[in-house]
Amino acid sequence: MFELKNIKKLYNNHLILDDVNIKVETGEIVGLIGKSGAGKTTVIRIATMLETVDSGELIIDKDSYDLTRLSEKEIRNIRLKEGFVFQNFNLFKNKTVLENVTEGLIYARNYTKDDAEKLAIEALEKVGMAHKRDEYPRNLSGGESQRVGIARSLVYNPSVFFLDEPTSALDVENKQEVINVLKSMKDNKRTVLLVTHEINLIKTIADKVCFLNNGKIIEEGKTNEVIERPKTDELKHFLNSTI
Ligand SMILES: Nc1ncnc2c1ncn2[C@@H]1O[C@H](COP(=O)(O)OP(=O)(O)OP(=O)(O)O)[C@@H](O)[C@H]1O
Ligand SMILES: [Mg+2]
């Protein structure tokens, strides 16, 4: 289980997140939607501790943490439980597909090369990329790169995944490959917070959805209820503008 509680975030005295609460139950996919600049990436960056907060709490599994006063040890403990995938893949260009996936296991988690490779190949098989293990990122399509990015987080078997626009940089065909991998994450009951502006992807894989507007979650609930029966003008307008 993952939860962000009472998150408040200011940039340059401007309130970006105003008491945001998001909960992802184990085995559930929660979609976070909202217009450009709403603060979705900021939520993900806070959840992965790439960004500080003005106030707020993070709960992961059974442990809760005050995000304003994290020790180095707490940050390490939280990071061990989190996986993330961003829009732009961020693969190491001078490393092969396999090395991209084993790198963290070997250098951050002290796995032997053999053990790391075994786990990496399993993860690459899950995303249909094991056959390209010796390729370099420059020889991969966008969809393939993103699937390697997903394998890189799967290999740790984290408690929760954070995906920020995982399909946005891709053309239609590449998008479909990645969506298939995301569907298998759903089938395997992964716990995921998914940011996307693609409502169809939300409808396909998210169990619940939260709509972020003006720094607050103003609608949330089961995906089909929120998407089919929006209550606020803001969400109605957002849904009309994204179809
Ligand atoms: N490092 C920063 N310093 C100052 N302002 C920032 C910073 N990062 C983000 N912002 C501002 O915070 C707001 C939210 O940005 P964020 O990137 O979280 O939006 P988003 O919902 O992810 O948008 P998009 O859909 O375009 O990705 C924006 O107004 C943005 O300009
Ligand atoms: Mg963003």
Domain presence at residue 52: no
Q: In 3-state terms, what secondary structure has residue 17?
A: strand
Instruction: Looking at the CA of 45, name the nearest ligand.
Output: 1
Cα 33 to ligand 2 centroid, rounded to whole Å = 10
Domain presence at residue 134: yes
DSSP state at residue 214: T
Pocket of ligand 1 (CB under 6 A): 11-12, 16, 34, 36-42
CA–CA distance, 30 with 12 (Å, rounded to integer): 29
Q: What angle do CA 213, 215, 216 make, to 5 degrees?
A: 70
* Best CA proximity match to 212, nearest among 3, 33, 6: 33
Residue of minimum CA distance from atom 17 in ligand 1: 41
pLDDT for position 40? 97
Residue of minimum CA distance from atom 3 in ligand 1: 11
Instruction: Looking at the CA of 86, name the nearest ligand.
Output: 2
Looking from the CA of residue 39, the nearest atom of ligand 1 is 18
Cα distances (Å, whole numbers) of residue 119 to 107, 123, 154: 15, 6, 10
Domain presence at residue 109: yes
Residue of minimum CA distance from atom 9 in ligand 1: 42
Q: In 3-state terms, what secondary structure has residue 136?
A: coil
Mutate to test the pocket of ligand 1, among 4, 7, 15, 41 (most ligand atoms within 8 A of CB): 41
Is 185's pLDDT higher than 90? yes
How many domains would you assign to the chain?
Answer: 1
Question: Is the distance from CB of 182 to CB of 201 less than 8 angstroms?
Answer: yes
Question: Is the distance from CB of 82 to CB of 46 less than 8 angstroms?
Answer: no
- pLDDT band at 243, cuts 50/70/90? low
Instruction: Looking at the CA of 163, name the nearest ligand.
Output: 2
Looking from the CA of residue 43, the nearest atom of ligand 1 is 18
Q: What angle do CA 103, 105, 108 make, to 5 degrees?
A: 90
pLDDT for position 81? 95
Domain presence at residue 20: no
Domain presence at residue 71: no
Chain segment 100-112, per-residue pLDDT in tens: 999 999 998 899 9
Q: In 3-state terms, what secondary structure has residue 88?
A: coil
pLDDT for position 173? 87
Cα 43 to ligand 1 centroid, rounded to whole Å = 10
pLDDT for position 90? 83
Domain presence at residue 197: no
Cα 42 to ligand 2 centroid, rounded to whole Å = 7
Domain presence at residue 106: yes
State which amino acid sits at residue 64: S
Please enumerate in sequence order all residues whose Cβ is within 8 A of that of 181, keeping only pairs 6 or more positions apart, or say none.
126, 127, 128, 147, 150
Please classify residue 19 by burial: count the beta carbons closer than 10 Å to its beta carbon, then call 0-12 exposed, 13-18 middle and 19+ buried: middle
Long-range contacts of 19-25 (CB under 8 A, 24+ apart): 19/216, 20/56, 20/212, 20/215, 20/216, 20/217, 21/217, 22/193, 22/210, 22/217, 24/160, 24/191, 24/192, 24/193, 25/1, 25/191
Is 89's pLDDT higher than 80? no
Domain presence at residue 110: yes
Cα 145 to ligand 2 centroid, rounded to whole Å = 19
- Domain housing 152: 90-157
Looking from the CA of residue 45, the nearest atom of ligand 1 is 18
Please enumerate in sequence order all residues whose Cβ is within 8 A of that of 12, keeping only pairs 6 or more positions apart, or say none.
none
Is 210's pLDDT higher than 80? yes
